[in-house]
Amino acid sequence: MSLANRKILVVEDDALIAMLLEDMLSELDYDVSATAADVDGALVLAEGGAFDAAILDVSLAGKSSLPVARLLDEKNKPYIFATGYGALPAGMEGSGRRVLNKPYQLHQLEAALASLDITG
């Protein structure tokens, strides 16, 4: 099944990175369903569930995105952590966690998304 037009929730507090990510997703034929720049906004969007997968910045204005990841886990929504820290902070590590290290390139984003189970 083609992954084209799958909807991605972008959770990123840096506006320039969010815009770059949106452009990259568009180039890969994904649709951005919504963008959140903080934990509260991301939780509202995640609760709504109008997306197929999410990309979560690890730190949102100094706050952990772990509550968003936990909600996505509860809703069985796949996601990728994006981080410039090299490793996931305590509580975020674990088997099966997909990590996209910043700065990332188009082919790395494409491979990370392809590894998610968003074909259903």
What ranges do the domains of the chain cover?
7-114
pLDDT band at 88 (very low <50, low <70, confident <90, very high): confident
C-alpha angle 37-43-19 in degrees, rounded to nearest 5? 25
**Which pLDDT value is given to residue 107?**
96
**Would the pLDDT of 103 be above 90?**
yes
| R_g over Cα of the chain | 13
Q: What average pLDDT score do residues 42-69 get? A: 94
**Would the pLDDT of 2 be above 60?**
no
**Would the pLDDT of 1 be above 50?**
no
Residue 34, SS3?
A: strand
pTM: 0.91
**Which pLDDT value is given to residue 79?**
94
Q: What is the CATH number of domain 7-114?
A: 3.40.50.2300
